[in-house]
Copies of this chain bind each other. A is one copy, B any other.
Amino acid sequence: MSVSPDLPIGVFDSGVGGLTVVRALMERLPNEDILYFGDTARVPYGVKSVETISHYATQITEFLLERKVKLLIVACNTMAAVASQAIHDLSPVPVLDVIQAGTQGAVNTTLNKRVGVIGTLTTINSQAYVHTIQQADADIRIHSQACPLFVPLVEEGWLDHQVTRITAIEYLQPLLQHGIDSLVLGCTHYPLLSPLLQEVVGDKVQLVDSAITMAEQVESLLDETGMANPKTTAGEHHYFVTDVPQRFQAVGGRFLGRPLSNVHVVNW
């Protein structure tokens, strides 16, 4: 397989959450073409079994590789948590994932070496962040908390709502009691809650948004390997989804920070 710099970057997620990663990529690498895959028919993955998630992740990886991409980005923490090896095994092109990116962000950010991690049930139960962060720095102590209501609250658009604030306080209080100074947003939906979460955790805790670290890692990798797209015109962005649910345009646009176009439906 010949890989050339003018190929697009493939980004995939279980639904719309990965669009926060696309947004960070667009801002940092405006000339890169992007193929996004969101498995909107089968979302959410965060409550499914490891076997089912691995099966779905393999299907999506094959779909993007067939369309020729120069790099794969796993923009779903749940897939990265439980199916990362399966995706790496399949792919002849480099694979980056949001857990590696979030880990790098946490290591760069923490001063007191007490890090909080929040995510879906499956991501937290997998202990993926605990393993990768401790591999990067064995002195860091990690305190994790599953926050299953954050995804539906974001999708309802209650980004600055009393209900979301009380829910956040309930989920985050135990982490704060451990004296964390950094909080990894271990789900691509959570950056939309950043202002509210920052308010709840206070000034002394820094939020780690893996989308931003991811865009930095992609830029470095493309530069080091000579794979940055040489064109000077704006990148093209295409979105493949397995379903166009009610309110998809509205919710997707909220994640992307601009209107969604070039949406293609894949019937699986």
List chain B residues, Cβ under 8 A from A134: none
In the complex, A122 Cα to B246 Cα: how many Å?
7
* Contact count band on A: 20 to 34
A148 on interface, CB distance cutoff 8 Å: yes
Contact present for B49 and A244 (CB under 8 Å): yes
Given contacts A41-B52, A47-B245, A246-B125, contact A156 B163 (CB under 8 A): no
List chain B residues, Cβ under 8 A from A244: 49
A95 on interface, CB distance cutoff 8 Å: no
Cβ-closest chain B residue relative to A167: B163
A93 on interface, CB distance cutoff 8 Å: no
In the complex, A246 Cα to B50 Cα: how many Å?
9
List chain B residues, Cβ under 8 A from A40: 48
Contact present for B166 and A49 (CB under 8 Å): no
List chain B residues, Cβ under 8 A from A49: 243-246
A153 on interface, CB distance cutoff 8 Å: yes
- Chain A residues with CB under 8 Å of chain B are 40-42, 47-49, 52, 121-122, 125, 148-149, 151-153, 155-156, 158, 162-163, 166-167, 170, 242-247
